[in-house]
Amino acid sequence: MPDKLNHDFILKDKGYSNYEDTTELARHRWYYYKEGFSPNIVENAIEQTGISKDDLIIDPFNGSGTTTLSSSIKGYKAIGIEVNPFTAFLSDAKLKNADISELSRWEDKLLKVAEKGMPSPLQGYSTFSKTKKLSHSETKKLDKWLFNIPVLKSFEGGWDLTNKISSHNIRKLTRLALISAAMKNCNATRDGKCLRYRDNWKENFFNKDTFLDALAFDLANIKLDIAEKPIEGKTKILQGDCRSILKSSDEIKSFKLCITSPPYLNTFDYTDIYRPELFLGKFINDSKSLYDLRMKTVRSHIQAKWNEPTLKDFGLLYEQTIKHINEHKEDLMHKSIPMMVQAYFEDMSNILKLLHNKAAKDAQIWFVVSNSAYAGMEVPVDLIIGDIAARAGWYLKEIGVLRYLKKRKTKHSPNVTLLRESVIILSKNKF
Ligand SMILES: C[S@@+](CC[C@H](N)C(=O)[O-])C[C@H]1O[C@@H](n2cnc3c(N)ncnc32)[C@H](O)[C@@H]1O
């Protein structure tokens, strides 16, 4: 197996496992999604597999929709599956076209109502604004809050208007611009696993005017990109847990190419980090629905009380890894880590089996992952998934190294300083 690791992979050290190169790209730039990969991964996979325009491309962990958007721009049909309703909405919105003059008319109205504003249901909810409502209608002043009230009010004024837009596409596009503008005016930004407050955020004072500027800017980009890069509506986004959708949906059959990146085995919880968007866009409205959503995500974090995994026949490298982790429990940051590691590989195993059932006979999977570190040891996630894929019936073509990423020094794994990100290339046919 280790000889399958290609250190001279053609895409190595080009920055393709991250999203930085999309900030200027038409349609991709409608929302900054830190955890996405580059469209170059998708373009390379399409080129190297030489699939035709009638073939189906899928991504079961579609995130912000880099696979579905890049495939659509190139004229391919794709299906993306995504469990998080905000990111599913985002990836769908990026595929929409609209009549520009109608969109401009709604833009004028939107800027007017956002200028006026209206009370937001998030005022006083959790950490969304300066004050938090307690029972018996007491209020408590917080020392940190995500949004200044004028921003929430402008957002809500705009959102209320979108309920009156009959064009499905224009409603989606204006809602996306509203959420994007709100997040540009959020007092915290995403930083790894958490939302970190901006430096001097209290002095930066985001307000109605900064919100309106961001909204006008985002809508201008949307209009420009739709005019310059209309796309065919062949692609579809399905929202839900890919394990159930792959089991039940007839739409995904005989796919030729799967280009995907599951959550990494790093305790990162996407439902937590995208909590502001989930509430702003009214995809969820209380902590119970947030928890229910969390339970549907793959078991790559410890924020939910998962079912105990039962599978463990994942090969020698997995056995060595779990043995080391179990023998060094005192070096783990949380007692649930051993269970999470096993559950993660169980989920990957089930998904690879489901994909095998749905694949055309000469299909390929491009699976982007990163290694992790637990109890002072580097967990070779890419090699273990290679073993698991073989057990699910896939042939391992190669594991292409994308880059070695500097790891933040932690007290739990101080000696692991670099983590490998790679693309596992699997084929249904023996080559
Ligand atoms: C690494 S991100 C994918 C990023 C994507 N490649 C892009 O460029 O935007 C992984 C995604 O998997 C999603 N996810 C987690 N569990 C899932 C599940 N059970 N079914 C479908 N999607 C899931 C997360 O919400 C997250 O958006």
**How many domains does the chain contain in total?**
2
The answer for residues whose C-beta is within 8 angstroms of residue 155's C-beta and 6 or more apart is 114, 120, 147, 178, 181, 182, 211, 280
Lowest-confidence range among 268-277, 321-330, 334-343, 414-423? 414-423
pLDDT value for 43 = 96
pLDDT value for 414 = 75
pLDDT at 123 over 80: yes
At 187, the pLDDT band (50, 70, 90 cuts) reads very high
Last residue of a domain, one of 205, 228, 251: 228
Query: Which of 59, 61, 260, 297 has the most ligand 1 atoms within 8 A of CB, as the residue to mutate?
Result: 61
Q: Is residue 111 part of a domain?
A: yes
pLDDT value for 2 = 55
Per DSSP, the three-state class of 423 is strand
Same domain, 82 and 179: no
Mean of the per-residue pLDDT values for the chain? 94
- Region 303-315: what's the mean pLDDT? 92
Same domain, 245 and 191: no
With 0-12 / 13-18 / 19 or more C-beta atoms within 10 angstroms meaning exposed / middle / buried, residue 61 is buried
Same domain, 258 and 140: no
Last residue of a domain, one of 228, 255, 283: 228
Task: Please give the number of the atom of ligand 1 that sits closest to the Cα of 242.
Answer: 20
pTM: 0.96
Place of tokens 């062949």: 234
Same domain, 8 and 143: no
Same domain, 263 and 207: no
* Chain segment 26-79, per-residue pLDDT in tens: 999 999 998 999 999 999 999 999 999 999 999 999 999 999 999 999 999 999
At 141, the pLDDT band (50, 70, 90 cuts) reads confident
Task: Provide the residue range defining the domain that includes 129.
Answer: 100-228
Same domain, 180 and 238: no
pLDDT at 403 over 90: yes
Q: Is residue 284 part of a domain?
A: no
d(CA 178, CA 211): 9
pLDDT value for 1 = 55
Last residue of a domain, one of 201, 228, 255: 228
Query: Which of 70, 83, 347 has the most ligand 1 atoms within 8 A of CB, as the residue to mutate?
Result: 83
Same domain, 137 and 110: yes
Same domain, 192 and 243: no
In the reported structure, the alpha carbon of residue 62 is separated from the centroid of ligand 1 by a whole-number distance in angstroms of 5
Same domain, 304 and 410: yes
Same domain, 214 and 263: no
Lowest-confidence range among 3-17, 364-378, 409-423? 409-423
In which element (H, E) is residue 219 found?
helix 208-228
Secondary-structure breakdown of the chain: helix, strand, coil percentages, each rounded to the nearest 5: 45, 20, 40
Percentage of residues of the chain with pLDDT beyond 70: 98
pLDDT value for 233 = 83
Q: Is residue 205 part of a domain?
A: yes
**CATH number, domain with residue 17:** 3.40.50.150
d(CA 136, CA 235): 50
Report whether residue 296 contacts ligand 1, using a CB cutoff of 6 Å.
Answer: yes
In the reported structure, the alpha carbon of residue 238 is separated from the centroid of ligand 1 by a whole-number distance in angstroms of 12
| Amino acid at residue number 318 | Y
pLDDT value for 96 = 97
